[in-house]
A and B are shown apart, each in its own frame.
Chain A
């Protein structure tokens, strides 16, 4: 059979005024792992939603295995062997692995749900694919890596031959990623076709056979992986040359990866955290006696699989979460019990990990977002001083390269990268001594990553103390002077960045090494 598994041509799709896809195309040959790459908002997810039957295209054709299926439904797609592994897990936490896998196609005995057969079937599938998960365990008790295996099992149980994975590695530790690659290669070798959405270039090089690049809703290139380079892919994605500030793995472990980093002089202690413990709403210790300090001109990077206490540690220092035990000292002032406002006055700037929840008020304009928390400084006799707020906004927009470059648009209308620049501008555009940067480049495109990394480096060179938390190990390695890996609320290991590589840190991220082994 020579028909291509997937052939999409001339796809147009608009959501209101936003054109998500314009004449986009995708052509995937049988038995390949195909990477679909592009900046945020390039239209990758929309294109895959159209393929998976979640969204109907305005124009264009979708062919699967040579048959025109344009505008089909989710159930049609499932029935015809197209399975989507969503970026956000589509699992019911209170049900077991087996129940989640069979949900919607439950084996029956008469009118009853045949739980025994569900277990047998799922276990057989686990045996066959090597996606090892305890089938009778509740999904809420699984690790992130295991949960993702359940997602893949779900699609395979429904007979998927074409597997679409949307940013599957975003939440995985390096060993989990390697295991995922093994499984995907095996699926491909068994005759499956795989489309992988990602914006990590090292992954594209690692795993894919062919690449389709999207930019601004359109398909701008199709390449063979073995014949291209990360720089070429990045250029196609952005439309110009990009300095890859998150280097591929081959450069990170080689010499010179830390060459642009001046040796951090022993500056003054700006942030001291002692025996910090934080409990969550269920009174479980999520940060458990963590101690560290950061000097002026130093970047401490916290790596680790998400959900090991990184969020809580940052929020506790920022004053957004109660501290159960321990102390936080900024430039010699104990702020353990201080309000958020007092902490900011003491010199803490905070770039929160979730810009929609903590970073911005989406309905407010760029200018208003830029003065959040500093309203007092921008008011006159109790009312806001519009002229000064506007002038301030213009200044910051120019300095931090926010686009569109006018103060009036609501934050909601900006792209992810520009929203993040607004947050960065507010937090780093005022005087501060300690920067808490949580996932500062999450979901932003290559160009914005480059910009944000430059801001962080400049702040370090200006003698600020920086706490960087990132799920992107490469980002931590590229920016930090000292690297800590967080696992189950503790620092599993702390080492100079010059000694750290993904291979060294990987095991700590999954609890493989104990502290003594370091």
Chain B
């Protein structure tokens, strides 16, 4: 395989990670734990499929997918900000809810337990770069970095995640900031799912397959810094590309090759433990 193809394949694989990690980063910096990314992605993928199926337009699919992510983002926000639910528990509940809901609706609408009919996607071209979502995914990292470090609202997100009482004491509405942050994370992670669904022109059951959790790992590995988290996504995507390319190469059992991305994730995270720099108020309800 030539290096150019290797790079384009890596970037395409990285797109859902970049979307989800960027979204997760915004929520976590505001103090909301992002175990929900998996659910946001899956709801985005499913909503995009529905949108595209009924309208016949990929663009409508993207909007529907973003709305799906937003919906569950707000649900997580209401549970944790309004009702002060434990963020980890709410996160797990959101993930399980999305898995269950997508299965039920898939069965109701398409009478299938595994996948939707084929839907309209973008003309991606051979390299895959005809798909605007690829470019949006790559852009999500600088956009989030810009939001966090160059806008007044970014400053407030950081304050809400590090010291919500301090933010409140200068008149910042911490709840509002956290709602917006978790909504942004829902939309961005949802778009990660949209890319998966439209790229494959269909929704398949549980198609995100743990990518949301790898995105969380990327956020942590990137020490809650958008550029480093983006780098971590690219690293994990490289490992996955390597894994795909090495399949079928004789000598190594395919199961071991399949483990590469996950082993890398564990090694990357373990190497960083002990000097975590998580936002100080992460997971703590504002009072």
Contacts and interface: CB of A to CB of B under 8 A. Distances in A.
A458 to B, nearest CB: 41
Contact of A94 (B162, B167, B171, B172): B162
Contact of A90 (B151, B169, B280): B169
Interface stretch (B74-82, B152-160, B259-267): B152-160
Interface centre among A74, A75, A90, A108 (most CB of B within 10 A): A90
Given A92-B162, A93-B280, A106 B169 contact: no
A103 B155 contact: yes
Contacts of A113: 150-152, 154-155
B168 interface: yes
A109 to B, nearest CB: 10
A86 interface: yes
A75 B162 CA distance: 21
A395 to B, nearest CB: 40
Contacts of B165: 90
A95 interface: yes
B172 A103 contact: yes
A100 B172 CA distance: 12
Interface in B149-187: 150-152, 154-156, 158-159, 162-163, 165-172
A103 B151 contact: no
A75 B171 contact: yes
17 contacts: A74-B169, A84-B169, A92-B162, A92-B166, A93-B162, A93-B163, A94-B162, A100-B166, A103-B155, A104-B170, A104-B171, A105-B170, A108-B152, A112-B150, A113-B151, A154-B170, A282-B275
Interface string A86-120: 10011111110001100111101001110000000
A78 interface: yes
Given A84-B169, A113-B150, A103 B162 contact: no
Contacts of B156: 103-104
A90 B152 contact: no
Nearest to B159: A92
Nearest to B171: A75
Contacts of B168: 74
A78 B156 CA distance: 17
Contacts of A92: 158-159, 162-163, 166-167
Interface of B: 150-152, 154-156, 158-159, 162-163, 165-172, 275, 279-280
> 5 closest A-B pairs (Cβ-Cβ)?
A104-B170, A90-B166, A106-B152, A75-B171, A90-B169
A106 B171 CA distance: 12
B150 A94 contact: no
Contacts, number: 61
A113 B169 CA distance: 20
A119 to B, nearest CB: 14
Interface residues of A, number: 25
B170 A103 contact: yes
B158 A104 contact: no
A113 B167 CA distance: 16
A90 B171 CA distance: 12
A90 B163 contact: yes
Interface in A5-33: none
Contacts of B169: 74, 84, 86, 90
B167 A104 contact: yes
B155 A106 contact: yes
Contacts of A75: 171
A94 B163 CA distance: 10
Nearest to A77: B171
Contacts of A99: 155
B158 A78 contact: no
A93 B162 CA distance: 7
A460 B162 CA distance: 45
B162 A112 contact: no
A103 B275 contact: no
Contacts of B152: 106, 108, 113
Nearest to B172: A104
Contact of A103 (B159, B279, B280): B159
Contacts of B159: 92, 95, 103
A45 B155 CA distance: 29
B158 A94 contact: yes
Interface centre among B155, B166, B280 (most CB of A within 10 A): B166
Nearest to A107: B152
Nearest to A111: B151
Nearest to A75: B171
A413 B201 CA distance: 63
A467 to B, nearest CB: 31
Contacts of B275: 282
B28 to A, nearest CB: 13
Interface centre among A84, A94, A99, A108 (most CB of B within 10 A): A94
B215 to A, nearest CB: 22
Nearest to A53: B171
Nearest to A94: B162
Given A90-B165, A90-B166, A104-B167, 16 more contacts: A75-B171, A78-B171, A86-B169, A90-B170, A91-B166, A92-B166, A94-B279, A95-B158, A95-B159, A99-B155, A103-B156, A103-B170, A112-B151, A113-B150, A113-B151, A113-B152
B137 to A, nearest CB: 23
